[in-house]
A and B are shown apart, each in its own frame.
Chain A
Amino acid sequence: MSKKQKKVLVRILVAALCMAALLLLPLGEGPLRLLFLIPYLIVGYDVLLKAGKGILHRQVFDENFLMAAATVGAILLGEYTEGVAVMLFYQIGELFQSYAVGKSRRSISQLMDIRPDYANIQREDGSTERVEPDEVEIGTLILVQPGEKIPIDGVVEEGKSTLDTGALTGESLPREALTGDEVVSGCVNLTGVLKIRTTKAFGESTVSRILDLVENASSRKSRSENFISRFARYYTPAVCGAAVALALLPPLGRALIFGLAPEWGVWVFRALTFLVISCPCALVISIPLSFFAGIGGAGNAGVLIKGSNYLEALSQTGCVVFDKTGTMTQGVFEVNEIHSEGMERDRLLEYAALAESYSSHPISKSLQKAYGKSVDRNRISDVEEISGNGVTAVIDGVPVAAGSRKLMERLGIACGECEEAGTVVYMAVDGSYAGYILIADRLKPHAKEAVAALKKAGVRRMVMLTGDRQEAAAQTAAELGLTEVYSGLLPGDKVDQVEELLRQKGRKEKLVFVGDGINDAPVLSRADVGIAMGALGSDAAIEAADVVLMDDDPLKIAKAIRIARKCMGIVYENIYFAIGVKALCLILGAVGIANMWAAVFADVGVMVLAVLNAIRALSVKKL
């Protein structure tokens, strides 16, 4: 609690004790009325002061003014217990609100507490100096001890360690960092000392960009937020107008039309009840707080949402469009299958790796990786690369050919056909067909579950777009359980395809595009919501997307949608609940059933409940 809050708390307690004492003392009506002014002024003097200032500034619909008018009116009408109690409850509500908002503000900032406090610059003479991260220039050597945060993006120059990326990705699996690796700021160095050559200024580093993004997230307001601030602007004047009408019209009507006693006191008192209900605070606080909590919770789970409007759109997802490579698949090529005709499979792989060892093609790299041993180039001679088709070489004195079917045809070697998706390297050893090696992209570990989870989350339509050839696309889609695939697309075609899908979707549905952020910036911005995944350290993706998944787990797509749904659910609960209770109290107050006690519940009680409800949006772990 801050000093200000403590002071208010003390005033509330003193006033409450004072009031209780007055109620127990056997005093007459007259002195009691005067004595009740003591707790009233103790608890409400600041409201009265602010109301006075509000009048000077012509702010009639200021909530302090409304509260002051209602309570002073009640006391003047002889309902002093209620006047004091209403002021007391009002202050309790305000205190609670300020406390709860402050607390959630802190806990959300703590979730996103990835800002490094310092950087250790390594001097040439071996000494280190501790400085502010934003003073470090690009190309400086910094030292990061185990347990410290990496303050600035850079490349490891010396040392090896494991890094905890949890604060960025929400995943606790440590990542390895070796000499020469790029490392991003915000990770925690776990095991070894790292010397890092910085490649960016602090302001451009991953950590700063993420913090910027999260802090600016709520400046993009959602429709619900705009609705509420517009509503609040008209609500208070409208209710105040109704209060004036309630105070004047029924008594005048009774007196002039029906010839009854006007009962001014009753109607003015009911009007004062209206004034208490007219504060819009419960609504106005709970909606942005829900969004803030939702965005904070999502950030903690490694899902960065750039604005409340995207959170809202995400909750209405009806159609998800995926990019294939890098999104649903790992985007790295690996030896998937070795099919040998007679020879040992390791032997076949060895021949292939050796024959291709002079090439820097990705296929060659994946062969080397699968082979796993260093290549003795003395064993290889007469290497001839046949452009686009493969390579022939002599290994250990044996002629070997590795390449496409065309190469085999060219050499006049009969071979079987591989039907599977991926790149096939056919092998001929000593003039006859020896088998093939299948190199293919792999599905991400959770890709299949991700599709199932999206279906479960009620996504009506899922489409995969890829620049890959049809067989590869069809096979990936079949493995994932997707029925709609468009293959062979150039980046421009993807935009056209997404536009076509946007035309086909329902009016209230939103289209989400998920890509890896590389080459698909136009599509990301064209979709209702563009999600970039695996964006850790990729500036372009963070820039182009509306939602950023910090790690590359496709399961997070469904999680992001669930987080958005939960948050929007809470937002609507709060809107309906707060407006509903207020409307009910207005009606009951007008007919005289609800008194000022009910009114103060409608104001303060609803706010307390709405704030507590809003904070629920913060917990997203189990979604």
Chain B
Amino acid sequence: MKKTYKIDVDCANCANKMEEAAKKTAGVKDAGVNFMTLKMWVDFEDGTEPGSVMKEVRKNCKRVEDDCEIYL
């Protein structure tokens, strides 16, 4: 299942870091961040609950870039 989320982040490199962090989160099959449209799409593994996975994704993103936000 693929979902798109609105994000907020200030620099392009930070967006790349968020992408990396999201990809590495458990339950995420693939993910991408579009800095220009400020959107993140996440493809979830089958049988996972997007809500709880996204909480982890947000936590991991905040770890690499403190000044970011994902609107769940």
Contacts and interface: CB of A to CB of B under 8 A. Distances in A.
B55 interface: no
Contacts of A97: 11
Contacts of A63: 11, 13
Interface residues of B, number: 18
Contacts, number: 56
A218 B13 contact: no
B11 A285 contact: yes
Interface of chain A, main secondary structure = helix
A232 B67 contact: no
A59 interface: yes
Given A97-B11, A288-B12, A57 B64 contact: yes
A550 B15 CA distance: 32
Nearest to A285: B12
A288 B35 contact: yes
A233 B64 CA distance: 13
A53 B12 contact: no
Contact of B67 (A50, A101, A215): A50
Given A53-B66, A57-B64, A59-B64, A105 B13 contact: no
B39 A215 contact: yes
A232 B13 contact: yes
B32 to A, nearest CB: 5
Which size bracket describes the interface of A in this complex?
20 to 34
A280 interface: yes
Interface in A52-66: 53-54, 57, 59, 62-63
B63 A57 contact: yes
A292 interface: yes
Given A94-B10, A219-B41, A280-B13, A289 B36 contact: yes
A50 B66 CA distance: 7
Contacts of A288: 12, 35-36
B48 interface: no
A53 to B, nearest CB: 5
B63 A94 contact: no
Interface string B39-54: 1010000000000000
Given A233-B16, A284-B11, A284-B12, 14 more contacts: A50-B67, A53-B66, A57-B66, A59-B64, A94-B10, A94-B11, A101-B35, A101-B36, A105-B36, A218-B34, A219-B41, A232-B16, A285-B12, A292-B36
11 contacts: A57-B63, A57-B66, A59-B63, A63-B13, A98-B11, A215-B37, A218-B36, A219-B34, A285-B13, A288-B35, A289-B36
Q: Which 8 A-B pairs have the closest CB atoms?
A: A285-B12, A292-B36, A284-B12, A284-B13, A57-B63, A53-B66, A219-B32, A229-B16
